[in-house]
Amino acid sequence: MKMLEKYHKEILTCTGCAFCKKACQIYFHSRKETDSPKGRIMISYGLLTGELKEDDSIVEALQKCALCKLCESVCPSMIKITDIIKAACHDLPLLPEHEKLINEIETWNEPIEGKRLFIINSKDESLAEIAKKIKATVWHGGCAAAIERIGRRNEMVGRLVERIKEAGIEKIIYYEPDCKKYFEGLNARNIIEFIESVDCDEKCAIHIPYDYDDEFKEKVKKLFEGKDVIYIHECCGGRIEFKRAFFKEAKKMAEDVIKKSNGRKLVTASMECYEHLKKYGNVIDLLHLARFKD
Please state at what angle helix 37-49 crosses helix 81-90, rounded to 10 degrees: 40
pLDDT at 200: 86
pTM for this one?
0.94
Ordered by where they begin, the domains of the chain are 2-93 (no CATH), 100-192 (3.40.50), 196-292 (3.40.50)
**What is the widest separation between alpha-carbon atoms in the chain?**
60
Rounded CA gap, 168 and 27, in Å? Answer: 47
Contact 85, 16 (CB under 8 A): no
List C-alpha distances in Å: 130 to 13, 51, 109, 120, 196: 46, 52, 22, 12, 14
Rounded CA gap, 44 and 60, in Å? Answer: 13
pLDDT at 34: 96
Low-confidence residues in the chain, pLDDT < 70: none
Rounded CA gap, 262 and 163, in Å? Answer: 45
Contact 234, 253 (CB under 8 A): yes
List C-alpha distances in Å: 218 to 36, 71, 215, 223: 29, 21, 5, 9
Rounded CA gap, 98 and 82, in Å? Answer: 18
Q: For residue 31, is it left (φ>0), alpha (ψ between -120 and 50) or beta?
A: left
pLDDT, one tens digit per residue, over 35-90 is: 999 999 999 999 999 999 999 999 999 999 999 999 999 999 999 999 999 999 99
Task: Give the pairing type, strands 229-232 and 265-268.
Answer: unpaired
Contact 235, 140 (CB under 8 A): no
- Secondary structure of residue 136 in the 3-state scheme: coil
Give the chain's radius of gyration (CA, Å). 19
pLDDT, one tens digit per residue, over 95-105 is: 999 999 999 99
| Phi/psi at 116 (5° precision) | -115, 135
CA angle 146, 147, 150 (to 5 degrees): 85
pLDDT at 54: 92
Rounded CA gap, 153 and 167, in Å? Answer: 25
